Amino acid sequence: MIVNEQVAVDHGLKKDEYKKICDLLKRIPNITELGIFSAMWNEHCSYKSSRFHLKNLPTEGKNVIQGPGENAGVIDIGDDDAIVFKIESHNHPSFIEPYQGAATGVGGIMRDVFTMGARPIANLNSIHFGSPQHKKTKNLLRGVVRGIGGYGNCMGVPTIAGQTSFDESYNGNILVNAMTLGLVKKNKIFYSKAAGLGKPVIYVGSKTGRDGIHGASMASAVFDDKIEEKKPTVQVGDPFSEKLLLEACLELMSGDSIIAIQDMGAAGLTSSSIEMASKGNLGIEINLNKVPCREANMTPYEIMLSESQERMLIVLEKGKEEIAQKIFDKWNLDFAVIGKTNKSKKIELYFNEEKVANIPVNTLVENSPMYERKWRKAKLPKKIKIKKEQFKNLKIITVLNKILSNPNVCSKEWIWQQYDHTVMGDTIQKPGGDSGVVRIHGTDKAVAASVDSSAVYCWAHPLSGGKQIVCESWRNLISVGAQPIAITNCLNFGSPENEENMGEFVECVQGLGEASLFLNFPVVSGNVSFYNQTKDIGIKPTPVIGGVGLIKNYRNMVTMDLKESDNLLLVIGKTEGHLDQSLFARDILNEKNGPPPEINLFNEKNNGETILRLIDKKYIRSAHDISLGGIITALSKMCIKGKKGATLKKPKHLISQFEYLFGEDQGRYIIEIDKNNFKNVATILEENSVHFDELGTIGENDLIIDDKSKVSIDDLIKSHTTWLTNYMSK
Amino acid sequence: MNSSVITFPGSNCDRDMDVALKKFGFKNKMVWHEDIELPKSDLVVLPGGFSYGDYLRCGSVASKSKIMKSVTNFAKGGGKVMGVCNGFQILVESGLLPGVLLRNKYLEFICKNIFVKVIDKNSPYFKNIKKDTLELHIAHNEGNYFCTKEQIKEINDNNQVALVYSDKNGSVDDANNPNGSMKNIAGILNKEKNVLGMMPHPERMIDPTLSGEDGSIFFNNLINNLK
């Protein structure tokens, strides 16, 4: 095939990018080379629109062992233990083929983690669907949940937490973000930097097939009417092979044979070989005839661009081939020496004794395009003056039941019951709490993890929204008694070529950077997913934050279920009654304008740290952060979980009852304490200048808000648990 | 007491079972599926997971693996063999236990705590157990027990039903049947009562902070019975 500008454009490259390739090579690339360039230079692999802004994120901290730039981030959790973690999107494939798309998303992120030598110990996911009324939503949800379960369950890694949301902006472009945490000893972390000349380059895992060719390019394009034609670009997962690959890799890693290792994820053999060569500042030559192929007559182009799953590339110490081969034979996996490192600083590919590609590595990596896209700053919307008359006809209990059964608030048990969340025997807080928590096997330590996003806030004002999610992630970790350590982010946005969407990206990133810097909660890994749109309509900006924290002694973990009658309930943090962009305003009053709640980073930090102090002193019996739906929604969930009631005190605030109960002011928590400890707790809170209010006391069977508003816990449970099950069984 | 846990490619509860057995005093060895001989064992356990990816049918490929010849001989000689979850599926596939395990009634993977009523109190597995119902954990896609009319008659005649799904008071009905199993069967024994297969995971219920201790009751009782 003759390569020209049109062929390049068909590969998703821009005309000037094609010109740049010809200039860099000082010749016209052949088709294999063009394929390689298109794979490396697409948005998904090159971060060409985002790099400029991502470099401003805080990525360092005293517990950070490895920040962004490797397969995953690594943090220190003491005693030579480290946690490797990352979140990644698999949005486009999941919309085209929900089961395989979601499954391979989970498989891909687990591979990123065990590539670094860590055994995966927990999975999380953040999934976002269109309106429940949209004709595709139900099938997509069912397929995605089955896919996530199908892969994670088979791998034997517990899925400990997640988030599911519904919003019409995802009607034509769902989001599937998967996160994995792995455990590794600090001195056994593996990296992707190749080193040494003449070292064997090894291919292990499944065979290479024709699936997923151009997957990464597909993920970098806008959906149009012909998405069905893109089905063949979705990879097909085989969790059984991945389980074998995991065990085989960890077995090989226990020795000293590996110099560098990289999984074949997006853009397969292309990106893995180039990444290793680039980091090691050397060249790699590969004989493509040696690559184990599933199908006959695969061309160099297909072999290099296949995204077949469950494959790894390893640079091995010379002479260790036999030891390594034995291990992979034991696990019935393919093993092939396909090339070696050299000093050429080029990727040199041979096929049928012919050189079929010869590209300097730096042209693919350092010289890849970087764009400073145009973007528009978002104005802070004017505050809406909600008229008090609008509340007149509303009954608190009716509103509360409506909110508890709202698709974005209701119980997601139908989903997480399909995920094995207890395998490995260390899950101490299962899905449905503020964070999932797993014990570090055989120790007193535990790690907590949570995934969060607030697309509505980000849409209303990206800068505030960006800050808010980092804070929410922080609060979810604090609420279980974990010291927050670091985050990973998955930045899901519309087209970077649209100034408004690009502006959302820039300002969300700025917001999340500010918050993570202030909270000392650095970003150690992440992923950007642009072009989440169908035709011209972009999704609501949806940065997803995965937060990880440490509980030094798992027995001190806090849960949100109310524990004991007569105990006192306090609201930590100030309640101002902010209703704009709240669930109450949007879904009950149908008011979609106005600014999201303000973020006060000082209060966030101070409130959170003070709560940790109270937990340390064992004053807190249960805790829950206040988010979507305000105080009363948070309290109802605590009642539901603990099967306990509560009686509220009359608030001192000069705001309406609806603002008090449903307002979504930030930086707040509800905590349960023993009455006898009130004085001590109040002293600590006052000493630390933390605002608090008495919310009420715990009772037996009913939630009593005032003389006129009382509801049984059984009714609350019904409102909270039935919506999703009913929806899915219809 | 010596125990052996067999690891098949795709097993993923083998470590959990190893941890549990050791916690309650067994000297446990891990045995690779390609081994030919079993180490000296008082108990052999086939753990949960997705042996051979559960391709073809759950447990069917594993039932033909090398080590299963020794396991079968061991069982036929009266040795105690216990299969949990995928292990149960392997036992029915290998013919050591009657019946089959179909896909769950609602075609969904289920992971949750359930209660089982202990029906058998004579076998080495449940003799002297101090509770009538146990809170255990299930995590499976194919746990829907089924067998022929003749088989169920034989199973009943020989008192081979070990565990049935129930509520916490031991009441057995459809509402407490999580997967559609015939007669709520959660676990069965062979005629000789030395082979047990069950879908629930006792090894996930051995720590009060995790999820309760009814698994501990099971293992403590088991090792005492075997002594």
Q: For B21-75, how does the pLDDT look when each residue is reduced to its tens digit (9 = 90+)?
A: 999 999 999 999 999 999 999 999 999 999 999 999 999 999 999 999 999 999 9
CB contact under 8 A, A153 and B141: yes
Q: What are the start-end ranges of the E strands in A423-563?
A: 427-429, 436-439, 446-452, 483-492, 523-529, 533-534, 537-538, 542-551
Q: Are A572 and A686 in contact (CB under 8 A)?
A: no
Give the whole-angstrom CA distance, residue A152 versus residue A109: 11
The mean pLDDT of chain A is: 93
d(CA A190, CA A118): 9
β-pairing verdict for A200-205 and A334-342: antiparallel
Contact with chain A for residue B203, Cβ under 8 A: yes
Beta-sheet strand order (sheet of A568-572): A622-625, A669-673, A568-572, A692-699, A645-648, A702-706, A709-712
**Nearest-CA distance from A208 to chain B in Å?**
19
Give per-residue burial for B65-81: e unless 16+ CB within 10 Å, then b. Answer: bebbebbbebbeeebbb
Instruction: Write out pLDDT tens, residues A510-532.
Output: 999 999 999 999 999 999 999 99
pLDDT at A234: 74
Per residue in B174-213, pLDDT (tens digit) is: 999 999 999 999 999 999 999 999 999 999 999 887 778 8
Cβ(A333)–Cβ(A281) under 8 Å? no
A427 in contact with chain B, both atoms CB, cutoff 8 A:
yes
Position A536 scores a pLDDT of 79
Residue A654 has pLDDT above 80, yes or no: no
ipTM greater than 0.90, yes or no?
Answer: yes
- The mean pLDDT of A666-690, rounded to a whole number, is 97
Please check the confidence at residue A231 and state whether its pLDDT lies above 60: no
Q: What is the pLDDT of residues A52-111, one digit of tens each?
A: 999 999 999 999 999 998 999 999 999 999 999 999 999 999 999 999 999 999 999 999
Position A388 pLDDT exceeds 90:
no
Predicted confidence (pLDDT) per residue in A329-383, tens digit:
999 999 999 999 999 999 999 999 999 999 999 999 989 999 999 999 999 999 9
The tokens of A438 are what? 């797993």
How close B152 gets to chain A, by Cα (Å)?
30
- Yes or no: say if A595 and A460 are a contact pair by the CB < 8 Å rule: yes
Catalytic: which of B93, B135, B142, B203?
A: B203
Neighbours of A552 (CB within 10 A): 15
**Which three-class secondary structure state does DSSP give residue A563?**
coil
**Rounded distance between C-alpha atoms, residue A251 and residue A204, angstroms:** 13
H/E element, A340: strand A334-342
Q: Please report the DSSP string for B25-53 in residue order.
A: T-EEEEEETT-SSPPS-SEEEE--B-GGG
**pLDDT tens for residues A533-544?**
887 788 999 999
Q: Which of residues 332-361 of A touch B (CB under 8 A)?
A: 332
- Amino acid, single-letter form, for residue A308: S
The answer to whether B56 contacts chain A (CB < 8 Å) is no
Burial of A48 (0-12, 13-18, 19+ CB in 10 A): buried
Count CB neighbours of A36 within 10 A: 28
- Partner residue opposite B10 with nearest CB, options A150, A243, A426: A243
* Cβ(A49)–Cβ(A75) below 8 Å: no
Active site residue A90: yes
CA distance B68 to B158: 25
Looking at residue A221, its pLDDT comes to 60
**Counting beta carbons within 10 angstroms of the beta carbon of residue B107, is it exposed (0 to 12), middle (13 to 18) or buried (19 or more)?**
exposed
For residue A214, pLDDT beyond 80: no
Radius of gyration of chain A (CA): 26
Tokens of A590: 């149908």
How far is the CA of A543 from the CAs of A59, A175, A457, A528, B5, in angstroms? 17, 11, 11, 9, 44
Q: pLDDT band for position A217 (50/70/90)?
A: low
**Sheet arrangement for strand A283-287:** A258-263, A311-316, A200-205, A334-342, A283-287, A346-351, A354-360
Q: Are B52 and B88 in contact (CB under 8 A)?
A: no
Mean pLDDT of all residues in A496-501:
93
Averaged pLDDT, A583-595: 93
Helical pair A713-729 and A396-404, crossing angle rounded to 10 deg: 40
Joined together, the tokens standing for residue A369 give 């395009």
Percent of chain B with pLDDT over 90: 94
Rg (CA), chain B: 16
Contact A652, A693 (CB under 8 A): yes
Helix axis angle for B214-226 and B14-23, nearest 10°, is 70
The whole-number average pLDDT for the span B97-111 is 94
Q: Is A164 in a helix, a strand, or coil?
A: strand
d(Cα A398, Cα A305) in Å, to the nearest integer? 56
Mean pLDDT of A545-550: 98
Q: Which residues of A touch B12 (CB under 8 A)?
A: 154-156, 243, 423
pLDDT, one tens digit per residue, over A295-320 is 889 999 999 999 899 999 999 999 99
What is the dihedral sign for C-alpha A303, A309, A310, A315? positive
Report the alpha-carbon distance of residue B38 to residue B65 in Å, rounded. Answer: 13
Specify the pairing of strand B195-198 against strand B80-84.
Answer: parallel
Per-residue pLDDT at A227? 59
pLDDT of residue A715: 96
Nearest of A628, A647, A657 to residue A695 by alpha carbon: A647
Interchain pair A420, B207: CB under 8 A: no
pLDDT of the residue at A652: 79
Architecture of domain B2-226: 3-Layer(aba) Sandwich (3.40)
Cβ atoms < 10 Å from Cβ of B153: 11
Q: Which residue has the tokens 């994995």?
A: A180
A422–B15: do the CB atoms touch at under 8 Å? no
Q: Residue B72: beta bridge partners?
A: none
The per-residue pLDDT for A224 is 62
Alpha-carbon distance A538 to A555, whole Å?
Answer: 45
CB neighbour list of residue A389: distance below 8 Å, 6 or more residues apart: none
Residue window 224-253, chain A: list those with CB within 8 Å of chain B: 238-241, 243-244
Strand pairing of A645-648 and A702-706?
A: parallel
Q: Tell the burial category of B35 from Cβ atoms under 10 Å away from its Cβ (0-12, 13-18, 19+).
A: middle
Q: B118-142 as b/e, with b when 16 or more CB fall inside 10 Å? A: bbbeebbbbeebeeebbbbbbbbbb
Largest Cα separation within chain B, whole Å, is 44
DSSP H or E segment with residue A326: helix A321-330
At A423-432, the pLDDT tens digits run 999 999 999 9
The packing angle between helices A98-114 and A239-253, to 10°, is: 0
At residue A228 the predicted structure's pLDDT band, cuts being 50, 70 and 90, is low
Chain A residues with CB under 8 Å of B49 CB are 156
B54: contact with A, CB 8 A cutoff: yes
Pick the closest to residue A406 from A164, A140, A729, A704 (CA basis). A164
Domain locations along chain B: 2-226
Average pLDDT on B88-103 reads 96
0.80 cut: is pTM over it?
yes
CA distances from B26 to A189, B45, B49, B68, B208 (A): 34, 12, 22, 22, 20
Active site residue A44: yes
Question: Nearest residue on chain A to B58, judged by CA atoms?
Answer: A154
Name the β-bridge partners of A529: A492
Q: Kindly state whether A422 is in contact with chain B, defined as any CB-CB distance less than 8 angstroms.
A: yes
User: Which of A244, A423, A425 is nearest residue B19 as measured by Cβ atoms?
Assistant: A425
> DSSP letters of A378-392?
PPPPPPP---THHHH
* Largest interatomic CA distance in chain A: 87
Cβ of residue A428 closer than 8 Å to a chain B Cβ: yes
Q: What is the mean pLDDT of residues A195-207?
A: 94
pLDDT digits (tens, 9 = 90+) for A400-417: 999 999 999 999 999 999
Q: How many CA atoms lie within 13 A of A272 on its CB side?
A: 30
Cβ atoms A146, A233 nearer than 8 A: no
Residue of A nearest to B9 (CA): A244
pLDDT of residue A219: 55
Q: Chain B within 8 Å of A206 (Cβ-Cβ)?
A: no
Lowest-confidence segment of A92-96, A569-573, B80-84 by average pLDDT: A92-96
Q: Do B52 and A240 touch (CB under 8 A)?
A: yes
Name the DSSP class of A585: I
Q: Is the pLDDT score of B215 beyond 90? A: yes
Q: What is the mean pLDDT of residues A464-492?
A: 97
CB A436 within 8 A of CB A482: no
CB-CB contact of A488 with A70 (8 Å): no
A103 near B CB under 8 A: no
